[in-house]
């Protein structure tokens, strides 16, 4: 309507003024309801053509959409393991900080596993002390074995010398027995030495490895125990949280509630523009929006991201063939628009619906010294008609509460 009124001022009004003051035709006499088309045909035709051209120019180079939402993502409150609730620390709609405890599951099993791991470490430490004592005893056994071996060797040498002097003094059987005894005592020395090496290896390698494994089991048990205490991953507000002690929480079937982050829906607006504006929407475009939740306000925005795919055309593999007709509904181009100034979305409730405009800016193209006159004029016209769209948005901002509360039946 605004475009029609503007175009009529440039076409129908001059045509009427020419008929009135040049040809002397007056409304109600020469110009009546039946002769209006004939008398003002040039102005009316030019008005229609100009209006259609202006609307096309405005909506193509300065797109508008009502598919704008302050989309936000919630965080499901879920433990990493299923269990029965033992204690609840927060209530419904309570604001929490990051890391604040929300609830705790029954941890008797995890505490028992943690205590078992601690006992295993204490057992290994005690075994280390025992092994060190056995190592000291092994030195004594080695010394004792070496003494017995030396005694057997000395006795064998003495008897062998006596036999060499007089063969009748010592029998051959006695010499063989002494040799066997020497070999046995030598084996005892080797066994005592090997036992000491075994104890040394046990103290230096086996027991530390067992202790490291027990400490890892202790750390794992501590992690499992920590999982029973569910904390807030981000700062926000707890919603739909009706958990009570005794309830069973399942990671797959029953979440405990929802955590709405503090910055949810206050960072950017997500807008869906028509596919015909795919070549116009660019990162860095300036935009404006008015939201139902914040009436009579215009929020300056800037386009920060333009999704290069259209969600309506996505295909997921299933066990059924997809008919293209099911995808015939045209989708929109997803555009992320952030406030141009800090705090621009304050007062806009997360999830609220808005109306947004995006304005094409040809400032850099107009600064080109090699630009032609026709293109210079065309780009000036494109940038100028953005004013019309800005006026329309402000009219929508004024009428939006009336349309919602009165005409919408709410």
Flag whether 319 is in a domain. no
Mean pLDDT per block of 10 residues along the chain (410 residues) reads 70 75 75 72 82 83 90 84 86 87 88 90 87 79 77 73 66 72 77 80 83 89 88 87 83 78 84 88 91 90 90 78 75 90 86 90 84 87 85 88 73
DSSP letter string over 27-92?
Answer: BTTTB-TTTHHHHTHHHHHHHHHHHHHHHHHHHHHS-EEEEEE-----EEE--SS-EEEEEE---T
Whether residue 272 is found in the same domain as residue 410 = yes
Question: pLDDT per residue over 364-390, tens digit each?
Answer: 888 888 888 888 888 888 888 888 888
Q: Are residues 97 and 233 in the same domain?
A: yes
- pLDDT of 298 reads 92
Question: Do 208 and 280 belong together in one domain?
Answer: no
Residues 293 and 405 in one domain: yes
Clarify whether residues 354 and 278 are in a common domain: yes
One domain for residues 124 and 25: no
Quick check: is 385 in a domain? Answer: yes
Tokens read off for 218: 């202790």
Distance CA 181, CA 179 (A): 5
Whether residue 367 contacts residue 38, with contact meaning beta carbons closer than 8 Å, is answered with no
Residue 154 pLDDT: 73
Considering only CA atoms, which of 384, 79, 367 is closest in space to residue 229? 79
CA distance 310 to 334: 7
Pairwise CA distance, residues 122 & 215, whole Å? 10
The answer to whether residue 185 is domain-embedded is yes
Same domain for 256 and 246: yes
CB 229 within 8 A of CB 77: no
Beta strand 101-105 with 229-231 is: antiparallel
Is 280 in contact with 63 (CB distance < 8 Å)?
Answer: yes
The C-alpha angle 30, 36, 41, rounded to 5 degrees, equals 120
Nearest-angstrom CA–CA distance, 76 and 12: 61
Please give the pLDDT value at position 3. Answer: 64
- In Å, the largest CA–CA distance within the chain is 173
Q: Give the C-alpha separation, 225 to 111, whole Å.
A: 7
> Rounded to the nearest 5 degrees, what angle is found at the Cα of 350, between the Cα atoms of 254 and 72?
55
Same domain, 385 and 304: yes
DSSP state at residue 321: P
What angle (nearest 5°) sits at the alpha carbon of residue 158, between those of residues 156 and 160? Answer: 65
Q: From CA 333, how far away is CA 337, in angstroms rounded? A: 12
The answer on 301 and 220 residing in a single domain is no
Instruction: Residue 246: give the domain boundaries.
Output: 76-102+229-261
pLDDT for residue 247: 83
Kindly state the tokens that stand for 239.
Answer: 């919603």
Angle between helices 108-165 and 207-227 (to 10 degrees): 180
Q: Is residue 88 part of a domain?
A: yes
**What does 198-237 look like in DSSP terms, one character per residue?**
HHHHIIIIIHHHHHHHHHHHHHHHHHHHHHTEEE-SSSEE
In angstroms, how far is the first alpha carbon of the chain from the final one?
26
Could you tell me how many helices (H) and strands (E) the chain has, helices first?
A: 10, 14
pLDDT of residue 355: 92
Examine the domain organization and report whether 119 and 155 are in the same domain: yes
pLDDT value of position 170 = 63
Angle, helices 386-402 vs 373-384, to 10°: value is 10
CATH number at residue 375: 2.40.30.170
Asked whether residue 273 falls in the same domain as residue 407, the answer is: yes
- Evaluate whether residue 321 is within a structural domain: no
**Considering its fold, how many domains does the chain have in total?**
4
> Cα–Cα distance between 91 and 103 in angstroms, integer?
10
């Amino acid at each position: 309507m605004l475009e029609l009124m503007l175009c009529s001022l440039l076409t129908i009004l001059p045509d009427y003024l020419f008929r009135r003051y040049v040809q002397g035709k007056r409304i109600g006499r020469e110009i009546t309801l039946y002769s209006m088309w004939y008398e003002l045909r040039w102005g009316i035709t030019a008005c229609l053509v100009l209006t259609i051209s202006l609307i096309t120019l405005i909506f193509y180079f300065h797109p508008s959409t009502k598919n704008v939402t302050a989309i936000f993502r919630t965080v499901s409150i879920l433990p990493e393991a299923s269990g029965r609730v033992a204690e609840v620390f927060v209530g419904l709609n309570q604001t929490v900080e990051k890391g604040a405890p929300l609830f705790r599951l029954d941890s008797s099993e995890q505490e028992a596993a943690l205590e078992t791991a601690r006992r295993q470490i204490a057992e290994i430490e005690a075994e280390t002390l025992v092994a060190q004592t056995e190592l000291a005893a092994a030195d004594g056994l080695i010394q004792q074995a070496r003494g017995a071996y030396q005694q057997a060797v000395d006795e064998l040498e003495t008897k062998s010398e006596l036999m060499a002097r007089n063969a009748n003094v010592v029998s051959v059987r006695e010499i063989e027995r002494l040799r066997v005894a020497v070999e046995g005592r030598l084996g005892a020395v080797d066994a005592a030495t090997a036992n000491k090496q075994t104890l040394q290896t046990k103290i230096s390698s086996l027991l530390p490895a067992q202790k490291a494994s027990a400490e890892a089991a202790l750390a794992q048990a501590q992690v499992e125990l920590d999982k029973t205490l569910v904390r807030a991953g981000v700062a926000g507000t707890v919603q739909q949280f009706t958990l009570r002690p005794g309830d069973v929480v399942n990671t797959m079937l029953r979440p405990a509630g929802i955590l709405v982050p503090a910055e949810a829906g206050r960072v950017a607006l997500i807008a869906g523009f028509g596919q015909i504006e795919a070549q116009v929407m660019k990162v860095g475009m300036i935009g404006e929006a008015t939201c139902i939740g914040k009436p009579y306000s215009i929020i300056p925005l800037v386009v920060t991201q333009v999704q290069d795919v259209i969600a309506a055309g996505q295909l997921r593999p299933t066990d059924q063939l997809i008919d293209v007709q099911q995808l015939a509904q045209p989708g929109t181009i997803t555009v992320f628009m952030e406030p141009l100034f800090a705090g621009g979305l304050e007062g806009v409730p997360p999830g609220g619906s808005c109306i947004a405009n995006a304005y094409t800016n040809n400032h850099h193209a107009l600064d080109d010294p090699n630009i032609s006159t026709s293109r210079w004029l065309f780009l000036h016209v494109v940038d100028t008609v953005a004013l019309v769209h800005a006026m329309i948005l402000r009219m929508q901002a004024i009428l939006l509460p009336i349309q919602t509360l009165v005409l919408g039946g709410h």
